[in-house]
Structure 1
Amino acid sequence: MKMRSRLLLTAVLLLSLGFYWLVDWIVRDVRLHYFITMEESLVDTSVLLAAQLSGDLTVDSDFAKALADAGERTLAAKIYTHTKTNMNLRIVVVDTQRQTVFDSRGTLAPGALYDWRDATLALRGAYGARTTYEDPGHAFSAHMYVAAPVMSGEDIIGAVAVGKPLISVTPFMKQARRRLVLSGLVGFAAVVLLLIPVSLWIIQPVRALTRYAQAIRDGKKAERPLLGHGGEMSELADAFEEMRDALEGKQYVEEYVQSLTHEMKSPLAAIQGAAELLNEEMSDEQRRRFLANINAESERLHGLVERMLSLAALEKRKALERGESIDLQVLIEDVTDSLLPVAQAKGITLRTAFSNPWKPKGDYFLLRQALTNLVTNAIEFSPANGTVEIRLSKPEIRVIDAGAGIPGYALDRIFERFYSLPRPDGGPKSSGLGLNFVREAARLHGGDVALRNRPGGGAEAVLTLG
């Protein structure tokens, strides 16, 4: 499972548990407050009735009849979305011996014992309240009672208990519960939807670092991803960069030492052989020839070292230190002018074509050297009296020759260091570093270079710039 999926799944699971707990806690809290509100209203009602009965516990017939009529009346009270259809208030009046004086429901006959906590406490002058299941086998038979003392001067002469079934507030609690659950689900869905871009935002640096690590693994020139400053991801990117520099530095030295050693063997052997022969007796002409060989091989070594140093400096650069606007048409004309004597010596015609010129940002010296290498190769591999064409069309520079093309076995190795093909005219091979230099310069400018055979004959180098 991908990290993003794990992160999202974990967040959804934790949010589910969190929202369930929150909604359940709020629902229970709302239920409690409904009961508190109900009890508070019963307190007011009991105190009001106790004050009305103050001084005399006698419940006259008019009061009893009014309560009976109210209990039988059909209501149509629209309370928000709930319609109340009847009055469900019960009133019980008892004396100091807890004997029933009046019961609005008629369940208790006059004189019957009302032995409940609410009245007992009220007769002591304390706050009396209770919640009782009137039918123990029925969950909806719970009633809440609040009793208040009936006074005669300073003396308590009885108590009045007012009761109401808890089921009367159940519709409001159910409605509140539905709204809370719906709000919780909507909030949960909104948070989950917000988690998707947040998870992408969190995972994006990890993906960037993964691509960066893969590029390092594949030996590609990759830039450190920009992940801000001071954060854990930025520190991790710095660690990757330091690790890359350490690995590349070690591998770089090993490869260059091996390559340079291999390439230097031949000229050094030639110089050593010629030097040993100079100690022997020989004619002046032979001595001059061996000295010329030593000079030629020395120049070859010098050129090899210079090219190696230039290429090494280029490969170690991770980005252009400064960029200037380069007129590629002017650059191409500069290269063709400088190579015109070389081309004329072989009877090669240099042609240019500018169909869509542009001015990218870059390093003029590096691009000039890269294009010089491509055009020089094209001249060397073109037949006498042939043509080399340089075409400019955004975003490419194409160098086309009319030579024999690139052998199939060399297509995959043409950009390797020190890999060089024999010249058609039998001239000495090059150092094999020119095309590698071109590729590094192109990549440093956000592009690349490709070399392929043309269907009609000849080869084509395509230098792409970013």
Structure 2
Amino acid sequence: MSSTFRVDPRVRATWRWGGAIAALLVVQSLAVAAIVWVMVSGSHRREIDTALAGDCRFFARTSVGEQREELREMLTRDIHRDRFLALFDAGGRLIDGNVARLPDRAGTVRGSFVATVAPTELPGKASDVARLMLCPLPGGGHLLTGFDLDDAEDALRIVERALLLGLLPAVALAVGFGLVAGRRAARQVDTVRQVTGRIVAGSLGERLPVGDNPDSFGLLCAHINTMLDRIQSLVADVRGVGDDIAHQLRTPLTRLRAGVEREMRGADDRAAFQAASDAALAEIDQLLGIVAALLRIREFEDHARRSRFAPVPLAAVAEDACELYRPTAEDRGIDLRCEIATVGLVEGDASLLIEAMSNLIDNAIKFSPAKGRVTLSLAERPTGIVLTVADEGAGVPEAERVLVTQRFYRGRHECEGAGLGLALVKAIVDLHGFSLGFAATGSAVSIVAPLRQV
């Protein structure tokens, strides 16, 4: 019998995250240690090379007769016995100094080099390793100058041990921090996975946890929550539209079916059938108008038409709306007056703006008493460009001013219509970034457009 050992996916995620972070920190620690080592060793070598080049320049300026005296004085001052100085003639024979002969590499390397020398003034020591430089002197001779590397190697070994001792806790801390950070990251990702899984399952109210002082991940979660709020709102709007359509069309469809069935059974000639058909077509047109209005409202709420915005002369649009409804007002005995002042341009869609004005004028004519007056006024004020449509009716009660802009709300049930006129106006106003308001007293509705910035 064989069994397979399975590791929890969350544990594997912790290992992956922790291993990646720990590896990154370990590589960083090793890189820092290598940089320190290179800098220390390079600095020591540059100091030696500078000193050796100084010896060469000094002896090159010194006369031949004084070179041996200067060499002896320098060796006398070398109390630590870490200097090598020797003068050689053109044939390579020793003139004076503490090195018995030229090293094998002398003359073949430009600049300083490391070689084994034979010291003459170090009792008990027949050879030593030093960094040397061979310099030509005026007259054909050469100067061999150098430094014993024993002390330098001891110092570098101390640096090596210090770096190693510093790397051990650094690596341990890197591994520990990597595991802790990996566990935290895996836990955060797992939380996101669980919440998104519940959202996919239908719990649209789920949100990601955000602390009081969020870090970068917390800020990302906050933005995701804002996005989820918007998605939930859009889904609710779509469901609301569907519910509104189902609720508002059920009664007209039921009435349409009953009417068609009644008329068809009671009709005994062609004229009766024609009348039944006309009535059915009128009902169908009304239903199609409701559906079209709902679709237009959704289009405006999604800001699908903002790309077509352009400067619009609002005065000309208001004039067109008045001319469009003047015959209707005359037929109903309403005095339609238009008081339009010259105003600036606004950013928008002219066809949508005239549709909003038309709805306001249509409502005013509908609710105005017989032989009443409807006034459309347009003026530029400090608050912006204000378009007002007023009638002599009772106006909208204060308690209903928020409700009348909702879809299918009809505060006056005796009036015809589907209750979408002001909802359509509100959608157009919001699309343009304007504001819609009702007069405190009387029956007047105003659209306020901000002044266009030139």
Q: 2:315 touches 2:342 (CA, 8 Å); kept in 1?
A: no
Over 3 Å counting, the alpha-carbon distance change for 1:267 and 1:250 in structure 2 is: same
**Could you tell me which amino acid in structure 2 is paired with residue 327 of structure 1?**
P
Identity rate, percent = 16
Over 3 Å counting, the alpha-carbon distance change for 1:335 and 1:261 in structure 2 is: same
For 1:178-217, what aligned pairs fall within 5 Å after superposition? Answer: 214-217=229-232
Q: 2:374 touches 2:389 (CA, 8 Å); kept in 1?
A: no
Please give the alpha-carbon distance, in whole angstroms, between the structure 2 residues aligned to 1:146 and 1:46: 14
For 1:111-130, what aligned pairs fall within 5 Å after superposition? Answer: 112-114=123-125, 119-120=126-127, 128-129=128-129
Please give the alpha-carbon distance, in whole angstroms, between the structure 2 residues aligned to 1:311 and 1:415: 13
Aligned to 2:441: 456
What secondary structure does 1:326 align onto? strand
Q: 2:421 aligns with which of 430, 434, 441?
A: 434
User: What 5-or-longer segments of structure 1 have no aligned partner?
Assistant: 1-11, 49-59, 73-85, 104-111, 121-127, 130-144, 149-158, 174-201, 220-243, 280-286
Please give the alpha-carbon distance, in whole angstroms, between the structure 2 residues aligned to 1:340 and 1:45: 107
TM-fit CA distance, 1:33: 1.6
* Residues 224-276 of structure 1, C-alpha deviations (whole Å, 9 max, x = no match): xxxxxxxxxxxxxxxxxxxx8xx987875565344322443345445555666
**Could you tell me which amino acid in structure 2 is paired with residue 404 of structure 1?**
A
Please give the alpha-carbon distance, in whole angstroms, between the structure 1 residues aligned to 2:307 and 2:100: 102
Over 3 Å counting, the alpha-carbon distance change for 1:218 and 1:354 in structure 2 is: farther
User: What 5-or-longer segments of structure 2 have no aligned partner?
Assistant: 1-20, 58-66, 86-96, 102-116, 134-143, 160-216
Q: 2:315 touches 2:343 (CA, 8 Å); kept in 1?
A: no
Q: 1:379 touches 1:388 (CA, 8 Å); kept in 2?
A: no
TM-fit CA distance, 1:90: 6.7
Aligned length: 316
TM-fit CA distance, 1:358: 1.5
RMSD in angstroms over aligned alpha carbons?
5.5
Please give the alpha-carbon distance, in whole angstroms, between the structure 2 residues aligned to 1:372 and 1:391: 14
For 1:8-407, what aligned pairs fall within 5 Å after superposition? Answer: 22=31, 24-37=33-46, 66-67=73-74, 70=77, 89=83, 93=98, 102=121, 112-114=123-125, 119-120=126-127, 128-129=128-129, 145=130, 162-163=147-148, 166=152, 214-219=229-234, 255-270=244-259, 272=261, 298-312=281-295, 315-316=298-299, 318-319=304-305, 322-323=308-309, 325-344=311-330, 345-354=332-341, 356-362=343-349, 364-384=350-370, 385-393=372-380, 394-407=384-397
Q: 2:356 touches 2:424 (CA, 8 Å); kept in 1?
A: yes
Over 3 Å counting, the alpha-carbon distance change for 1:354 and 1:212 in structure 2 is: farther
* Residues 20-57 of structure 1, C-alpha deviations (whole Å, 9 max, x = no match): 76554333212112333456679899999xxxxxxxxx
What secondary structure does 1:360 align onto? strand
Q: 2:329 touches 2:336 (CA, 8 Å); kept in 1?
A: yes
Please give the alpha-carbon distance, in whole angstroms, between the structure 1 residues aligned to 2:23 and 2:316: 64
Q: 1:46 touches 1:147 (CA, 8 Å); kept in 2?
A: no
TM-score, structure 2 normalization: 0.51
Please give the alpha-carbon distance, in whole angstroms, between the structure 2 residues aligned to 1:309 and 1:378: 22
Please give the alpha-carbon distance, in whole angstroms, between the structure 1 residues aligned to 2:420 and 2:69: 119
TM-fit CA distance, 1:373: 0.8
Over 3 Å counting, the alpha-carbon distance change for 1:311 and 1:370 in structure 2 is: farther
**Could you tell me which amino acid in structure 1 is paired with residue 367 of structure 2?**
F
**Could you tell me which amino acid in structure 1 is paired with residue 36 of structure 2?**
V
Over 3 Å counting, the alpha-carbon distance change for 1:405 and 1:291 in structure 2 is: farther
